[in-house]
Amino acid sequence: MRTIRVAAAQFENRDNDKAYNLSRIEALAKRAVEGGSEIVSFHEACIPGYSWVQPLDKGELLAVAETVPDGPSVARLWELARELNVVLMAGLFERDAEERIYNTYVTVGPAGYITKFRKLHPFVNSNLSPGDEFQVIELFGCRVGFLICYDNNLPENVRITSMMGAEIIFMPHVTGCLPSAMPGRGTVDRALWEKRHTDPVPLRQEFNGPKGRGWLMRWLPARAWENGVYAVFTNPIGWDYDTVKPGLAMILDPFGEVIAESTALDDDVVIATLTPEKLQIASGRRYLKARRPELYGKLVEPQKSETLPGWRMERK
> Residue 275: enclosing H or E segment and its boundaries?
none
User: What is the pLDDT confidence band of residue 316, given thresholds at 50, 70 and 90?
Assistant: very low
User: What distances in angstroms separate CA 292 from CA 145, 225, 281, 287, 288, one per listed residue?
Assistant: 24, 19, 21, 10, 9
Angle subtended by helix axes 72-84 and 18-34, to nearest 10: 20
pLDDT, position 306: 87
pLDDT, position 311: 60
Strands (E), 37-157: 39-41, 87-95, 101-109, 112-118, 136-139, 142-146
Q: How far apart are CA 86 and CA 25, in angstroms?
A: 12
pLDDT, position 191: 98
Report pLDDT digits (tens) over 62-105: 999 999 999 999 999 999 999 999 999 999 999 999 999 999 99
Residue 108: phi and psi, rounded to 5, are -130, 155
Break the chain into its structural domains and give their ranges: 4-315
User: What distances in angstroms separate CA 183 from CA 209, 307, 315, one per listed residue?
Assistant: 11, 22, 17
Domain 4-315 -> CATH class: alpha beta
Q: How far apart are CA 2 and CA 274, in angstroms?
A: 8
Which alpha helices (DSSP H) does 38-163 contain, by range?
58-64, 72-84, 155-163
- The average pLDDT across 183-200 equals 97
Q: How far apart are CA 227 and CA 290, in angstroms?
A: 12
The tally of CA atoms less than 13 A away on the side-chain side of residue 70 is 2
The partner residues of 231 in beta bridges, in order of sequence, read 169, 252
The partner residues of 306 in beta bridges, in order of sequence, read none
Fill in the DSSP letter of residue 98.
T
Q: Omega of the bond prior to 69 within 30 degrees of 0, cis?
A: yes
Report pLDDT digits (tens) over 277-311: 999 999 999 999 999 999 999 999 999 988 877 66
Cβ-proximal residues to 305 (8 Å cutoff; 6+ apart), any chain: none
User: What distances in angstroms separate CA 185 from CA 63, 151, 309, one per listed residue?
Assistant: 34, 20, 14
Q: How far apart are CA 16 and CA 47, in angstroms?
A: 8
Report pLDDT digits (tens) over 139-188: 999 999 999 999 999 999 999 999 999 999 999 999 999 999 999 999 99
117 neighbors 105 (Cβ within 8 angstroms): yes
Report pLDDT digits (tens) over 210-234: 999 999 999 999 999 999 999 999 9
